[in-house]
Amino acid sequence: MIHLEYIDRAQTVQTTPQVCMHCENPTCAQVCPADAIKQTPDGVVQTSLKPRCVGCSNCVMACPFGVPKYISPYDQMMKCDMCYDRTSIGKRPMCATVCPSEALYFGPLEEWKRRRRGNAVNEFKFGNQTVKTKVYMVMPDATPSLEGKVGEEAPRIDVKISDIKFRPRKEEK
Running along the chain, 173 residues long, what does each successive block of 10 average in pLDDT? 56 71 94 94 90 92 91 91 91 89 85 85 86 86 55 43 44 46
Report pLDDT for 147: 57
Longest dimension (CA), the chain: 60
R_g of the chain, CA atoms, integer Å? 17
Asked if the structure places residue 170 within a domain, the reply is no
Tell me how many domains the chain contains: 1
Q: In 3D, which of 29, 106, 10 has the Cα closest to residue 67? A: 29
CATH number of the domain at 54, please: 3.30.70.20
Show Cβ contacts of residue 77 under 8 Å, excluding neighbours closer than 6 positions. 28, 36, 37, 47, 48, 53, 55, 57, 59, 60, 68, 69, 70, 71
Report pLDDT for 59: 94
Asked if the structure places residue 173 within a domain, the reply is no
Query: For 15-31, what is each residue's pLDDT tens digit?
Result: 666 789 999 999 999 99
Asked if the structure places residue 82 within a domain, the reply is yes
- How far apart, in whole angstroms, are the C-alpha atoms of residue 76 and residue 50? 7
Show Cβ contacts of residue 3 under 8 Å, excluding neighbours closer than 6 positions. 102, 103, 104, 105, 116, 118, 138
Q: Which domain holds residue 158?
A: 2-163
Report pLDDT for 136: 87
